[in-house]
Amino acid sequence: PGDDARIVCREFSMDLASIRTDGQLEFLKTVYSKLVGHEHWIGARDAESPRSLYYLDTGGEVPTFEGTNWVYKASSYQVCGAYNPNSDYEAPTPVPELVIFPCMYERPALCST
């Protein structure tokens, strides 16, 4: 689950990724454009207010990015954020999403140094 993903990253001297800039998001779109499968946990967790996430490493709110949708798959607290590299596998270019859903789901982690 989301909390376990953070532990896994730390075992490799990394932390869950925080996407803070359009440039970082563009990098992920390029690097992960060929991935098919599930969302990847990032270091974002609910801020205990509706539809709001903060980054675990800084406490800062997760920004909204131009051209990238947030997809809400949970209606209560105890949610984590994830990056989905390609939500539409038939599109000519990747369609990434930032996803909010319960932390209990098992997903791969997106770690950073």
Whichever domain contains 73, its CATH number is: 3.10.100.10
Q: Please give the pLDDT value at position 33.
A: 61
Number of domains observed in the structure of the chain = 1
Q: How far apart are CA 16 and CA 87, in angstroms?
A: 21
61-84 pLDDT tens trace: 887 777 776 776 765 666 788 888
First vs last C-alpha separation in the chain = 20
Cα angle 110, 45, 104; round to 5? 75
User: What string of pLDDT tens digits covers the 113 residues of the chain?
Assistant: 566 888 889 999 999 998 888 888 888 877 766 555 678 888 888 766 555 677 888 888 887 777 776 776 765 666 788 888 877 777 777 777 888 888 888 888 888 88
- Alpha-helical segments (H) within the chain: 2-11, 22-31
Q: Distance between CA 34 and CA 95 in Å, rounded?
A: 11
- The parent domain of residue 89 ranges over 2-112
